[in-house]
Amino acid sequence: MRLLHRHFIIGITGGIAAYKTCELVRRLQDEGATVQVIMTEAGTRFVSALTFQALSGRPVYSDPWTSPEGSGPANGMPHIDLSREADAILIAPASADFIAQLANGQTESLLATLCLAREIPLLVAPAMNRQMWQNPATQRNIAALREDGITILGPGRGDQACGEVGDGRLLEPEELLQHLVDRFGPQSSAPEAARFPNIRGILQGASIVMTAGPTFEPIDPVRGITNRSSGKMGFAIAQAAVLAGARVTLIAGPVHLPTPEGVARIDVQTAEQMHQTVMQCIQSTSAEIFIGVAAVADWRPETTQPGKIKKNSGSLQDIRWVENPDILAAVARLQPTPICVGFAAESGSLDDLRALLPAKRQRKQIPLLVGNIGAETFGEDTNQIMLCDDHGVTLLPPASKLELAHHLLTHIATLRHHST
């Protein structure tokens, strides 16, 4: 009962993902919370108010002018009074239209009016088609919500109801539940700030640009060269960096991970796209720190074939390979130079890694190089890393990637302190 005595308002807007919220309401009550559901008119077109009334045990509100029969505050002001007894409001799913309303302070529904009049935290879990999510208007609205202190959860990446694949999926019920437990649960399930108290604020005000995940180099419309990097280490560092007080821009290769809260994410595919985006973001954000965690492909085909290469054509053997740009080295040559931290995923033993890192750090001309054994960490939730700097090589004990991220950022904060 990790949410015992907690009370949440769950807002539901128009979207097929509303079916997931049924499970979330049930799971919240299993954890001891009480739930008040508020729906927009569009939301009721996907799942009925009666369904949520049965799941929550409470009347469902949707009309700004009338309350459900036999319920509602005596003063007839549900948009004021309903939020006063709640710990937080979670909008799941949040449609593109409703996000635009929030960003502009509009009050077209009871739910929007309640959000405007609230005095409690507001969490928004977007759900929409990938192109709607990527549209500049939506991204401007999301940026405005973040600036207003509203927490954005997700979206996730994967198959969509429209048949397309990409960003825009509502996070799964268990992911949304975990966010609420982390933020409003007991101390044993408290946010990372409670478990790692020494990291809060150590990079306050720093602008960080970082990369994560693999790159994908297309050979033809259906084939390409990539690697097994999951992006988990990079996303853990991004999550920890926000807690440390930094402004984080995360440039991600093709991965299936939700965006950490408070992180500005840009998705790319190829090494060239990642290189261009990194250089643009470092300039536009005046980045003080660059962390290159991504497993960037060293080589790419010189040309991408317009059609699928047939098995017996022999064309695969004729591919001409060209070297991809070295993103880390390019950033290290910039003036002024950000504090550059690189990652090296190697094969072999830890002794082999220890021998390789100093020379590689020297070639890159960077203050800190982090090494690990790629085959042992790709896709895993744990890792073991070596830190190579001016003082030598230090092996950290195996730990979760999030815990290692906290250790790494503490080290980066020391570098930052010495550089200033």
For the cut 50, the answer to whether the pLDDT of residue 194 exceeds it is no
Catalytic residue among 115, 162, 281, 340: 162
Establish whether 115 is a catalytic residue: no
- The CATH 3.40.50.10300 portion of the chain extends over 193-419
Determine the distance from the C-alpha atom of residue 349 to the mean position of all C-alpha atoms in its chain, rounded to a whole number.
Answer: 32
Which of 186, 181, 131, 190 has the alpha carbon at shortest distance from 153? Answer: 181
State in words which class domain 193-419 has: alpha beta
β strands within 347-410, DSSP E: 368-373, 382-383, 386-389, 392-395, 399-400
Q: What is the mean pLDDT of residues 283-291?
A: 95
For the cut 90, the answer to whether the pLDDT of residue 342 exceeds it is yes
- Give me the long-range contacts of 134-138 (CB less than 8 A, separation at least 24): 134/166, 134/167, 135/96, 137/100, 138/96, 138/99, 138/100
Topology given in CATH for the domain delimited by 7-189: Rossmann fold (3.40.50)
Give me 223's structure tokens: 């084939």
**Which sign, positive or negative, has the C-alpha torsion 50, 51, 54, 60?**
negative
The reported pTM is: 0.59
CB atoms near residue 81 (< 10 Å): 15
- pLDDT at position 188 is 38
Tens of pLDDT, residue by residue over 98-144, are: 999 999 999 889 999 999 988 889 999 999 988 899 899 999 999 88
Tens of pLDDT, residue by residue over 22-58, are: 999 999 999 999 999 999 999 999 999 999 999 999 9
- The CATH 3.40.50.1950 portion of the chain extends over 7-189
Rounded distance between C-alpha atoms, residue 151 and residue 157, angstroms: 18
Rounded (5°) CA angle 351-403-158 = 100
Rounded distance between C-alpha atoms, residue 337 and residue 299, angstroms: 26
Report residue 85's pLDDT band, with 50, 70 and 90 as the boundaries. confident
